[in-house]
Structure 1
Amino acid sequence: MSGSVRTLARQTVIYGLSSIVPRFLNFLLVPLYTYFFKPADYGIVADLYSWAVLLNIVVTYGMETAVFRFTKNDSSGVSAFATAFYSILISSLLFFFAVALNAAYISDILGYPGRDRYVIYFAFIIAIDAVSAILFVKLRVDEKALRFSIVKILNVALNVLLNLCFIVLFPWVFRRLGQNFTLTVDYIFIANLFASAFTFLLLVDLIPSPGVAQFRLWKSMLVYGIPLMLSGIVGAINDVIDRQFIKYFSPKSVVNPLADLGVYFANLKIAVILVLFVQAFRYAAEPFFFKNADEKGGRESFARVAVLYMSVSMLVFLFTYANLPVFKYFIGSAYWSGLFIVPVVLLANVFAGLYLNFSMWYKLADKTFMGFLIILVGCLFTVVLDYFFVPLYGYPAAAVIRMFSYILITVICYVLGQRYYPIPYRIDAIVLYFAVALVLFVGQFFVTKFLSGGWVMLINNLLFLIFVIYFIKKENLTVVINQLLWSIKSRLRL
């Protein structure tokens, strides 16, 4: 394994703390929500957070990646960071006041009349998160991964703590006092609001002097960032539009579409382990790719990373499905009707991460508009198929379409990348890992279908271990593992 790939692996682990721990803590909220709220109520949460995903991209308009790009031409990166920060600060304030002043109208459009407070909550959360996002970029540029991770973890820890207080502790205290406590989804949003404000306060020392911001640089960063924003918007639509189709276009036989949306969203959360890996990889990959783009052997390192990504992601895929009989208890039994979509969602996430690998070429080659066009194709694919099939088959169709959409954009991105920014990807190795894992998954599927009891998990985990052994042999990791075990034994003797 080359030194640059080792660096990426190390950074992935460190940044993984900021992704894995917070998302794991957030994952612990899923049983809290699904055991205390009905699917229809959880559907409201899924609906509003799908809009938040889209608006977060709009309000940052590509400035996060633009900071990395323009720091290459500025050894300190101060000008690029300051320019991005004050741009985001001003636009976020304008966004907040524009949305807050029209909250009643927006809540009516969303189908929640009289609950304009939801809109105000999210306007504040999105605005302050956008400002904090640029401050987090500064930590990534300066490679202060530990502080980055600590602040991210504290953010989610506070959010989880407040959720526990609002949903469990306060109702218990009120009951003990003989008082009523009405539990609503408001408390989920309020907890998020306080956590976002707290996070910003932890980062205020990073706020740069406005004097180093440059208008000319801002225009260049905007030109670079806007196509990324458009790609992000279309990508977000591709990722969350299925929730809107479930809400508005479910089959007529569905009594409460919001309940179906809640079931769908809860089962998406079971794929959290793979999502954690992709997220950690994303945080480490951007600075790694930009720093090594012009280095000798840089493109070969990128190719190696893609193979390792596919092998590890398929390990996670097989492990999650093998232990689904345990993972299902993380959501309430009212949501188990959607468990069958979990492997489909897992595969969608596998290809989402592979697309991330293949998509770096248009950022490195300054062809970000090409990225927008690729995502646009995927988005149109999703919208058209959702329009025709969700009204017929409901949320299962949405899950399958999500998977094929990611496969489509991954293939397109690879083909175009080889033309404009050739990278010697080992497609044969990537396909082989995928094929072997898929064969083992088919075995797991039939074991689950025809057996019952403890035999299911036992045999499925044995099939998972077969892939682990295959991976170790294929990547020549036996020597590394033996050295690690010898080191551990030596320490234990001491």
Structure 2
Amino acid sequence: MSSIKKLAGQTMWYGASSIAARFINYLLTPLLTYGLAKTSDYGKMGLIYAAIPILNVLFTYGFETAYFRFSSKEENKNIIYDTAALSLFFSTIVFSIILWLNQSAFGAFTGLTNFPEIIRLSIIVISLDALSTIPFAKLRQEERPLKFAFVKIAGILLNIFITWFFIVYCPKQMQQPKGSWVVLVFNTETNPIVYVVFANVVQSAVTLLLLWKEIAKIQLKFNARLWKQMMIYSLPLVIAGMGGMINETFDRLMLRWWLPGTETFREEQVGIYNACYKLSILITLFIQAFRMGAEPFFFKQAESNNPQKVYARVMKFFVMIISIMFLVVALYLPVWKHFIGPKYWSGLKVVPILLFANMFLGIYYNLSIWYKITNKTMAGAWVTLAGAAITIIINYVFIPYFSFMACAWATFTCYGSMMVISYVWGQKVYRIPYAWKKLIAYMVIAFLLFFIHHTITAYITHYAFSYILATLLLLLFIGFLLKIERKEMQKLPFVGKYLA
């Protein structure tokens, strides 16, 4: 249990920073969904931010995970940071030039050919973010969460301020007498998403400046042997990462490509779906925080005695927590929906589906440790590609008939399939004693409680009754978990003393 406690501590540290950073960043959602006059503009933002992560995967080519994998070896510790950082520095220059010379193709891919400013600013964001990848990984590897948190949060706060300035403050000032000074920096003819992406450029640039001490430590030391090993390890992760981005963000682009109707209508549907996707915030935040602490932790545990037992326990606590989080969001959706503007509420029915899909994704991240520590990263690529194929096929067939509902169910099916495939394959290669029957039971019970609440409140629509019933069901589920897992819970800090 000491290992679990250590992971809990790291997850809390990185979780606090990641959750704070992500939550602050999510404040852009109400700012934009309430602040943008057109739903289609939010759709445009969804399109460009669906493409950026895909290109981020290519620009970083799995070197963050490779850095964690190889830095755990003593003989690499003095050279791996320089090798990884120099590799990303030179490749970023090359990739950026190629992308800059092919702006029209990038614009056609996103459907934003008529907005070249957005395309150019996006290329700058992608390049700057790639350069900060290894310095951030170094902070995580050295377990320096305070610096990590400060840099992340400072950049996001600046992003929000600049976005608020251009999206809210400047338009109001332009309604004042003509002498307003904002005319020097703001043009009403410019699409507001240009200013949103510009704020991201500033954030990325300031982030690099705040990481300057880590960047200054890079020396002109390059180990070709180590670099080759890292590339062999990481290239399959590029395939996995590309497939992962297809599963995670590509559906916005496919929705625009394959949905019948006018361009404005399609972008509006993308905007509605993109806004409602944000309501899976709670589970997404926890999964992100968990990944930040778990990846380096899992690699370190691989060198210890019986790491499989640790991985199994981690999975059990993980499923318990995300099952509670599912109910917190799904049962109180009438509260959470105010996080986005009312004009997006027509898409709220996708939220429970996406919540469960993200639960599957979180479990898959836990399961993926088997191919990372056994150096079988190509297996992860195949699993993710299978998920990507499912995503593309379902969306291609059903988007013309069911719009963004097809995207939600494609995501659900994709992540569920990846979870099952990874589990079955992983148990054959690197067996981990997961209590899978118990874990499935916890998730099924969570869904049944949501279904009971949804069915009853469909007939009794009083808000107070809905919240009271939701609270009772949530407490019932938590009490059930505490009773079943009492012995395990007693071993955890801050919990055991209340159950003793």
SS of equivalent to 1:270: helix
Q: CA deviation at 1:165?
A: 1.4
1:473 counterpart letter in structure 2:
K
2:87 maps to which residue? Answer: 87
Count, aligned residues: 485
1:94-113, CA deviations, whole angstroms, 9 ceiling, x for partnerless residues?
Answer: 22222223324532453333
> C-alpha distance in 1, partners of 2:347/2:338?
13
After superposition, residues 64-463 of structure 1 pair within 5 angstroms as 64-74=64-74, 77-178=77-178, 181-182=187-188, 184-207=192-215, 208-252=217-261, 256-453=265-462, 454-463=464-473
SS of equivalent to 2:364: helix
Cα 1:212/1:253, change in 2 over 3 Å: closer
Q: CA deviation at 1:78?
A: 3.2
Q: CA deviation at 1:375?
A: 0.7
SS of equivalent to 1:271: helix
2:5 maps to which residue? Answer: 6
Q: CA deviation at 1:340?
A: 0.7
Alignment identity in percent?
35
> C-alpha distance in 1, partners of 2:490/2:3?
21
Q: CA deviation at 1:484?
A: 5.9
1:226-264, CA deviations, whole angstroms, 9 ceiling, x for partnerless residues?
Answer: 001111011111222211221011145997111000000
Cα 1:15/1:75, change in 2 over 3 Å: farther
SS of equivalent to 2:175: helix
> C-alpha distance in 1, partners of 2:80/2:289?
24
Q: CA deviation at 1:485?
A: 6.7
> C-alpha distance in 1, partners of 2:95/2:220?
24
1:322-380, CA deviations, whole angstroms, 9 ceiling, x for partnerless residues?
Answer: 21111111111110000011000000000000000111100000000011011111111
> C-alpha distance in 1, partners of 2:480/2:377?
38
1:154-208, CA deviations, whole angstroms, 9 ceiling, x for partnerless residues?
Answer: 1111111111111122223333343575261111000000000000001121123
Q: Answer with 469-478 or 52-61: which moved more.
A: 469-478
1:196 counterpart letter in structure 2:
S
Q: CA deviation at 1:475?
A: 2.3
> C-alpha distance in 2, partners of 1:321/1:254?
32
Cα 1:14/1:481, change in 2 over 3 Å: closer
> C-alpha distance in 2, partners of 1:316/1:375?
25
1:320 counterpart letter in structure 2:
V
1:492 maps to which residue? Answer: none
1:282 counterpart letter in structure 2:
R
Cα 1:111/1:397, change in 2 over 3 Å: closer
> C-alpha distance in 2, partners of 1:272/1:338?
16
Cα 1:108/1:10, change in 2 over 3 Å: same
> C-alpha distance in 1, partners of 2:108/2:290?
39
1:26 maps to which residue? Answer: 25
> C-alpha distance in 2, partners of 1:426/1:59?
38
Q: CA deviation at 1:77?
A: 2.2
Q: Answer with 133-142 or 441-450: which moved more.
A: 441-450
> C-alpha distance in 1, partners of 2:258/2:429?
40
1:491 maps to which residue? Answer: none
> C-alpha distance in 2, partners of 1:409/1:153?
32
* Aligned 8 A contact 1:378 1:409 in 2: yes
1:308 counterpart letter in structure 2:
F
Cα 1:97/1:134, change in 2 over 3 Å: same
Q: Answer with 118-127 or 233-242: which moved more.
A: 233-242
TM-score normalised according to structure 2 size: 0.93
* Aligned 8 A contact 1:472 1:478 in 2: no
> C-alpha distance in 1, partners of 2:437/2:111?
49
TM-score normalised according to structure 1 size: 0.94
Q: Which runs of 5+ in 2 are unaligned?
A: none
* Aligned 8 A contact 1:266 1:331 in 2: yes
Cα 1:412/1:106, change in 2 over 3 Å: closer
**Aligned-residue CA RMSD (Å):** 1.9
